[in-house]
């Protein structure tokens, strides 16, 4: 007499299915969670939720080490094993495989982690700063903004003031290019005319026909204004610039990339104070 199916010993196929089902249960990320994370790719929802997403091993690692409040981490088992013990215990950890991470995030390849954190209070930089403060007048390219944040952090700057038209710092491409430096640099969005009108010290500004940065003698630390990629510093801000500076052109290129110009000028300003 044949045995009842329920009573049959598990064959290989069933065994495989069972393991797969268990695996799916463990790794399953709810649709609501995916929808929430994906919504944070848009500024509108980031503002509404006061949350943002950070992608990739390096950026998530830096985020976990920072004073940002991280609410959830979606990651591989390897990533969790490495960072779980050191992280805040209130974080919601969800395991995921490569395929899932790639489909939730905004980049094609993210092989280890993605995190959601709360935005934090932004500090208004002092208008009488005795350290260099960067002022960005409508930097539109997310890669440029991220690279500027990374470079400012390399040179030890802690404050960047940005115009309302500058790309949102929590844009995934900005965070990606900043390589974790967004965790250490305070970025303050404001109306630049109002902000600069209260500044008392020197305000350096990049102009094609400014003084060669190599000829400066001993600049006083103050504010450095970087103009938009296409049109430079906007006309209404010109009256606040106390010193127009430039990087001397020796070859044929019409201009330097805005992030590159920022880095070269910062390097010179810092060299001149040594």
**Number of residues counted as binding its own copies (CB under 8 A):** 37
Binding mask 168-207 for its own copies (x = CB under 8 A): ---------x-xxx--x-----------------------
Binding mask 212-231 for its own copies (x = CB under 8 A): --x-----------------
34 lines the binding site for its own copies (CB under 8 A): no
- How many CB atoms within 10 Å of residue 21? 10
155 lines the binding site for its own copies (CB under 8 A): yes
Site for its own copies (CB under 8 A): which residue of 157, 175, 192, 226? 157
Residue number, 71 or 111, with CB nearest to its own copies: 111
Residue number, 95 or 270, with CB nearest to its own copies: 270
> What residue ranges bind its own copies (CB under 8 A)?
58, 143, 147, 150-158, 177, 179-181, 184, 214, 247, 249-257, 259-260, 263-264, 267-268, 270-271, 274
């Amino acid at each position: 007499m044949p045995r009842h199916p329920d009573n049959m010993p598990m064959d290989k196929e069933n065994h495989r299915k069972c393991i797969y089902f268990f695996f799916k249960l463990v790794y399953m990320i709810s649709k609501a969670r995916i929808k929430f994370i994906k919504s944070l790719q848009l500024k509108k929802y980031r503002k509404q939720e006061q949350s943002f997403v950070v992608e990739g091993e390096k950026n998530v690692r830096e985020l976990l080490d920072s004073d940002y409040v991280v609410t959830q981490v979606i990651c591989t088992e390897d990533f969790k094993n490495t960072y779980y013990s050191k992280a805040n215990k209130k974080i919601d950890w969800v395991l995921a495989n490569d395929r899932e991470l790639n489909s939730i995030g905004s980049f094609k390849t993210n092989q280890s982690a993605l995190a959601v954190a709360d935005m934090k209070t932004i500090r208004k930089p002092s208008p009488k700063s005795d350290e260099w403060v960067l002022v960005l007048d409508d930097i539109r390219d997310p890669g440029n903004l991220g690279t500027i944040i990374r470079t400012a952090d390399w040179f030890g700057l802690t404050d960047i003031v940005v115009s309302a038209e500058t790309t949102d710092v929590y844009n995934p491409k900005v965070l990606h290019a900043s390589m974790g430096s967004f965790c250490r640099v305070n970025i303050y969005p404001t109306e630049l005319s109002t902000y600069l009108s209260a500044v008392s010290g020197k305000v350096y500004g990049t102009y094609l026909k400014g003084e060669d940065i190599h000829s400066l003698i001993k600049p006083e630390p103050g504010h450095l204004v970087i103009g938009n990629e296409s049109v430079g510093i906007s006309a209404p801000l010109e009256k606040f610039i106390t010193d127009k500076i430039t990087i001397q052109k020796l070859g044929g290129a019409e201009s330097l990339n805005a992030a590159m110009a920022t880095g070269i000028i910062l390097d010179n300003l810092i060299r001149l104070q040594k």
